[in-house]
């Protein structure tokens, strides 16, 4: 920061100092160029453009002397003139560069097209020469093939002539041997007769042997067929016997198993009925033998004298006789009537418990017995309070048992059925509906014990009902109200609880009749009589019950013995029937076997007789044929011998002449046919070669025409591409020149405004008296303040005068001794970007290195960081590519690589936010 501006920052300082949030990490988007020219660009970083604010001059009251102001005016005027001259020079240089690039492109395009045309002509000539050579080679090959074929034809002809000459020699030798005598013919006839006679006799002998052989084969086959048939019959007999035995064994085994099973079932049923009858006897005997049991009375579990561990206490239950048949008030203190839970009023000890165990879910019979006791207790309370007993029917008891099973299947715990969900609720409703009833209400309780007998289960029911009636305040006496409803139909069931919360859930369910309900079958309770009988002792009723039980046991044993005896007799008859069926099957199998064996013997005898008869007939026919054939041979021989005569010399000469003429004619015909076929084969061979050669020439001509046309098409395409590239170059250059001129106009206007503002700031006429601020150090020339610097990023050195300062604040062209004199308009912007108006590029300056610019090298398509020293100078551009086609491709690659990476629009600073760069 300059020490002469009262703490204010310059433009370069304001634009350079940014927070890390303002640095946009988009190095690939730092350069976007729209020109294709390769002009080297130098940029001065202190030139200002567009909406930038002038430097802040904050040293109030300090002005330059008038002479310095005049010098500054002159300096500013000269700077504007220099700027205008420089801009004009830039425009001219740009225009010249455009023209040079376009001329170079035209020249490169023309040369590229001429080179391509020359190459195409050379290629066409080479293709034509190659095609001609290929055709000539094929013609030479065809001529050679024809010559070889002609040579082969001549060789074959010579061989045919030689063969005929040999045949003529042989024929002449044969005629020379003929003398005209017929003795040779007679000898030949005699030899032939003897040979034919012997052959005929041999054939007859061979035929007789064949007849005998065929007869023997037929006899052997008949014997084998009989043996095979008998073996088959024997195998069938054996298999049938085995099958019958297997069937007998299987049936016997199955029948024996069935017998054992039915007898075992009968014995088990007998044992069960006899055990049940014996149990009744034992129970009746026990009732007679035992002393009279007393009904238990409820205890107040909150009483200090309550003894729950005394098995002889009035509230203790050890046997069925101790069960009360009515509900009694346990006298619960008022302070506990509304307790949420309760303690047992009756305690089960079961010292004399001989009732059945409940294993898992109770059976339907156990459910009915438990329901009998529950209904008995509820009705006792209703009766004492002036209400009729509840109805207990077969229908509603079936429904409540079905509901308990549905609850157990659904793993229901201590929760009302109506709240268990659609499946259990639906099954319960359906169970009642099937009986013509509605499911109307429910009380549920729990059992704390898992190992239950029928007696301990009834003690649990007794405690649950007592609690629901006398200690139900916590539930608003809702359980009691369900027990006391008018026209009540009630059933009971106990559900096995599989949730692990309680071993069992006890369920009281109310029902009501639907409008279309049928008649209900009421069930009478028997618990009172059973319990009172269990209390009895040696009473007349118990003794009569004992006698009845003993009589029933005797009758059950007699009936069981009779049933078992009848069953065993029936089972034995079934075994006997199976054995008899097996014996009958064996007799039938043997009969069938013997009959078939006899039939096979008859067939064999008939077959042998027929074979012998056929052989005799064939022998007779063969003998007759032999005699006839020998007689015919003798007659033919005698006739031929008689016809053979010796030949005179004249007859012999005529015969030879005739035969020779015929022989010569045949040979001449055969040679003419052979020569005609050779001529036809030679013609066909030559025709095929000529046709193949013509086809080859047509194909070569077609290929040559296709290649020539493709070459012309390629040349045309090259010309079009070069023209397009040149037009794009001209358009881009024109646009770049126009942009440069527009930018120059804006730059010059801005420079004028900034210059005037600067002059106004140092004009003595505008000075206002003020007290100097001596807290800041002055320049080296005491009393002569330094003019504000226009240099971006450089502070005016201490000790320089205003003229030197003004000189340094002018547009710097000597910051880099290697830089060219060309200028362009480069403006600093917010967000750490520098905008180059000449190339329309946004150069990003990072916070870490404010002097590093990033430019794009069009030749190698890579991003190159360039160390910048203010003013900013862009890197040297590559030379113009050799052809406009390459130029076009490089520029397209540049633009496409940028925009394909960034999409259709780039990030830009906020003051250019709506600007889009389209590929």
SS (H, E, C) 872-901: CECCCCCCCCCCHHHHHHHHHHHHHHHHHH
Name the pairing type of β-strands 826-829 and 833-836.
antiparallel
CA 19 remoteness from chain centre: 53
**For range 466-478, the mean pLDDT:** 96
Inform me whether the pLDDT recorded for 195 exceeds 60: yes
Using left for φ > 0, alpha for ψ between -120 and 50, and beta otherwise, residue 304 falls in alpha
**For range 190-198, the mean pLDDT:** 94
Residue with the bigger pLDDT between 22 and 192: it is 192
pLDDT score recorded for residue 291? 63
pLDDT score recorded for residue 837? 57
pLDDT score recorded for residue 588? 95
Inform me whether the pLDDT recorded for 2 exceeds 90: no
**For range 576-603, the mean pLDDT:** 94
Under a CB-based contact definition with an 8 Å cutoff, are residues 164 and 696 in contact?
no
Say how far apart CA 675 and CA 154 lie, in whole Å: 10
**Helices marked H in 471-539:** 478-483, 527-535
- Containing H/E element for 266? helix 183-289
**For range 123-148, the mean pLDDT:** 94
Q: Return the exposure string of 677-700: e unless at least 16 CB atoms fall within 10 Å of the residue's CB, then b.
A: ebeeeeeeeeeebeeeeeebbeeb
Inform me whether the pLDDT recorded for 178 exceeds 80: no
User: In 3D, which of 365, 360, 430, 431 has the Cα closest to residue 395?
Assistant: 431
Inform me whether the pLDDT recorded for 779 exceeds 80: no
pLDDT score recorded for residue 175? 79
Give residue 532's pLDDT band: very low, low, confident or very high (50, 70, 90): confident
**For range 748-765, the mean pLDDT:** 92
Under a CB-based contact definition with an 8 Å cutoff, are residues 490 and 390 in contact?
yes
Inform me whether the pLDDT recorded for 268 exceeds 60: yes
**Which pTM was predicted?**
0.35
**For range 747-771, the mean pLDDT:** 86
**Radius of gyration for the chain, computed over Cα atoms and rounded to the nearest angstrom:** 69
pLDDT score recorded for residue 653? 85
pLDDT in tens, 842-858: 554 444 444 334 333 34
pLDDT score recorded for residue 830? 44
Give residue 769's pLDDT band: very low, low, confident or very high (50, 70, 90): low
Give residue 314's pLDDT band: very low, low, confident or very high (50, 70, 90): very high
pLDDT score recorded for residue 768? 66
Inform me whether the pLDDT recorded for 7 exceeds 50: no
Residue 846's CB: how many other CB atoms inside 10 A? 18
Residue with the bigger pLDDT between 369 and 795: it is 369
- Containing H/E element for 866? strand 862-867
Give residue 303's pLDDT band: very low, low, confident or very high (50, 70, 90): very high
Say how far apart CA 2 and CA 46 lie, in whole Å: 16
Inform me whether the pLDDT recorded for 108 exceeds 80: yes
Share of the chain above pLDDT 90, in %: 65
Residue 412's CB: how many other CB atoms inside 10 A? 23
Per DSSP, the three-state class of 21 is: helix
Half-sphere exposure of 751 (CA within 13 A, CB side): 25
Inform me whether the pLDDT recorded for 553 exceeds 50: yes
pLDDT score recorded for residue 910? 36
Give residue 289's pLDDT band: very low, low, confident or very high (50, 70, 90): confident
pLDDT score recorded for residue 574? 93
Give residue 899's pLDDT band: very low, low, confident or very high (50, 70, 90): very low
Under a CB-based contact definition with an 8 Å cutoff, are residues 855 and 866 in contact?
yes
pLDDT score recorded for residue 401? 98
Which range of 19-23, 171-175, 840-844, 896-900 scores highest in mean pLDDT? It is 171-175
Inform me whether the pLDDT recorded for 876 exceeds 50: no
Residue with the bigger pLDDT between 587 and 833: it is 587
Say how far apart CA 541 and CA 553 lie, in whole Å: 18
Tokens representing 764?
């003595």
Mean pLDDT rounded to a whole number for the chain: 81
pLDDT score recorded for residue 514? 85
Residues 665-674: contacts with CB within 8 Å, 24+ apart?
667/164, 667/167, 667/168, 670/164, 671/160, 671/161, 671/164, 674/157, 674/160
**For range 536-552, the mean pLDDT:** 81
- Containing H/E element for 551? helix 540-643
User: In 3D, which of 12, 4, 3 has the Cα closest to residue 60?
Assistant: 4
pLDDT score recorded for residue 836? 57
Residue with the bigger pLDDT between 505 and 659: it is 505
**For range 239-255, the mean pLDDT:** 94
Pick from 195-199, 254-258, 740-744, 768-772: least confident: 768-772
pLDDT in tens, 593-611: 999 999 999 999 999 999 9
CA torsion through residues 760, 763, 768, 774, sign:
positive
**For range 282-302, the mean pLDDT:** 85
């Amino acid at each position: 920061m300059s020490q002469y501006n009262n703490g204010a920052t310059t433009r370069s300082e304001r634009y350079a100092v940014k927070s890390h949030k303002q640095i946009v990490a988009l190095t690939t988007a730092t350069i976007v160029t729209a020109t294709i020219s390769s002009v080297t660009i130098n940029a001065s970083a202190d030139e200002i453009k567009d909406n930038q604010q002038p430097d802040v001059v904050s040293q109030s009251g300090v002005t330059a002397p008038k002479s310095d102001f005049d010098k500054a005016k002159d300096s500013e005027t000269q700077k504007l003139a220099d700027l205008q001259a420089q801009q004009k020079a830039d425009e001219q240089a740009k225009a010249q560069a455009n023209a040079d690039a376009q001329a170079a492109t035209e020249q490169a395009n023309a040369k590229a097209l001429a080179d391509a045309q020359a190459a195409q002509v050379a290629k066409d000539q080479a293709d034509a020469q190659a095609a001609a050579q290929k055709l000539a080679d094929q013609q030479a090959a065809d001529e050679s093939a024809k010559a070889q074929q002609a040579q082969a034809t001549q060789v074959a002809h010579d061989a045919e002539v030689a063969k005929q000459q040999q045949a003529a020699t042989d024929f002449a030798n044969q005629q020379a041997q003929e003398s005209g005598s017929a003795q040779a013919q007679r000898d030949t006839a005699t030899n032939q007769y003897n040979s034919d006679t012997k052959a005929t006799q041999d054939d007859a002998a061979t035929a007789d042997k064949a007849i005998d052989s065929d007869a023997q084969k037929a006899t052997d086959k008949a014997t084998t067929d009989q043996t095979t048939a008998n073996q088959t019959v024997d195998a069938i007999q054996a298999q049938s016997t085995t099958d019958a035995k297997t069937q007998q064994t299987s049936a016997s085994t199955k029948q024996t198993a069935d017998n054992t099973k039915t007898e075992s079932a009968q014995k088990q049923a007998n044992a069960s009925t006899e055990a049940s009858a014996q149990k009744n006897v034992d129970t009746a005997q026990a009732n007679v033998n035992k002393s009279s049991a007393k009904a238990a009375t409820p205890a107040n579990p909150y009483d200090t004298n309550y003894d729950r561990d005394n098995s002889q206490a009035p509230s203790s239950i050890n046997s069925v006789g101790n069960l009360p048949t009515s509900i009694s008030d346990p006298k619960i203190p008022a302070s506990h009537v509304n307790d949420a839970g309760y303690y047992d009023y009756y305690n089960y000890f079961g010292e004399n418990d001989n009732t059945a165990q409940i294993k898992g879910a109770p059976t339907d019979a156990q459910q009915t017995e438990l329901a009998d006791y529950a209904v008995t207790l509820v009705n006792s309370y209703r009766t004492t309070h002036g209400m009729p007993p509840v109805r207990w029917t077969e229908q509603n008891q079936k429904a409540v048992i079905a509901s308990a099973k549905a609850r157990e299947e659904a793993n229901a715990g201590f929760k009302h059925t109506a709240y268990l969900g659609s499946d259990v609720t639906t099954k319960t409703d359906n169970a009642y509906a099937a009986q013509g009833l509605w499911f109307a209400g429910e009380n549920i309780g729990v059992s704390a014990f898992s190992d239950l007998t029928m007696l301990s289960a009834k003690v649990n029911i007794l405690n649950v009902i007592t609690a629901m009636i006398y200690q139900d305040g916590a539930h608003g006496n809702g359980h009691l109200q369900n027990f006391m409803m008018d026209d009540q139909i009630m059933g009971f069931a106990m559900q096995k609880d599989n949730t692990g919360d309680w071993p069992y859930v006890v369920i009281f369910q109310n029902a009501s009749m639907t409008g279309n309900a049928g008649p209900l079958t009421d069930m009478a309770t028997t618990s009172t009589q059973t319990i009172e009988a269990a209390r009895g002792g040696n009473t007349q009723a118990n003794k009569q019950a004992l006698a009845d039980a003993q009589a029933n046991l005797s009758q059950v044993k007699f009936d069981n013995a009779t049933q078992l005896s009848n069953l065993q007799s029936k089972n034995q008859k079934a075994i006997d029937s199976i054995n008899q069926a097996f014996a009958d099957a064996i007799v039938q199998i043997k009969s069938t076997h013997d009959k078939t064996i006899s039939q096979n013997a008859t067939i064999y005898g008939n077959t042998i007789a027929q074979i012998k008869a056929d052989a005799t007939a064939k022998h007779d026919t063969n003998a007759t044929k032999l005699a006839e054939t020998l007689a015919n041979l003798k007659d033919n021989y005698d006739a031929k011998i008689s016809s053979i005569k010796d030949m005179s010399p004249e007859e012999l000469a005529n015969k030879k002449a005739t035969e020779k003429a015929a022989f010569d004619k045949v040979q001449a015909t055969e040679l003419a046919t052979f020569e005609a076929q050779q001529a036809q084969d030679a013609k066909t061979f030559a025709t095929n070669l000529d046709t193949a050669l013509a086809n080859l020439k047509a194909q070569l001509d077609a290929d040559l025409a296709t290649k020539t046309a493709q070459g012309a098409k390629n040349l045309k395409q090259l010309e079009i591409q070069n023209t397009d590239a040149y037009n794009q170059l001209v358009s881009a250059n024109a646009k770049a020149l126009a942009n440069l001129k527009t930018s120059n106009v804006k730059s010059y206007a801005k420079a004028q405004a900034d210059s005037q503002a600067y002059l106004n700031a140092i004009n003595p006429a505008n000075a206002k008296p003020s007290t100097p601020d001596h807290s800041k150090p002055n320049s080296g020339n005491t009393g002569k303040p330094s003019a504000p610097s226009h240099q971006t990023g450089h502070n005016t050195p201490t000790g320089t005068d205003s003229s030197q300062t003004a000189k340094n604040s002018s547009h710097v062209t000597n910051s880099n001794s290697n830089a060219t004199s060309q200028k362009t308009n480069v403006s600093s912007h917010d967000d750490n970007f520098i905008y180059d108006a000449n190339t329309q590029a946004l150069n990003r300056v990072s916070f870490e290195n404010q002097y590093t610019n990033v430019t794009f090298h069009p030749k190698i398509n890579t991003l190159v960081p360039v160390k910048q020293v203010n003013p900013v100078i862009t890197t040297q551009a590559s030379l113009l590519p050799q052809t406009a086609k390459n130029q076009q491709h490089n520029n397209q690659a540049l633009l496409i690589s940028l925009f394909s990476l960034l999409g259709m629009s780039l990030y830009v600073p906020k003051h250019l936010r709506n600007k889009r760069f389209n590929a």
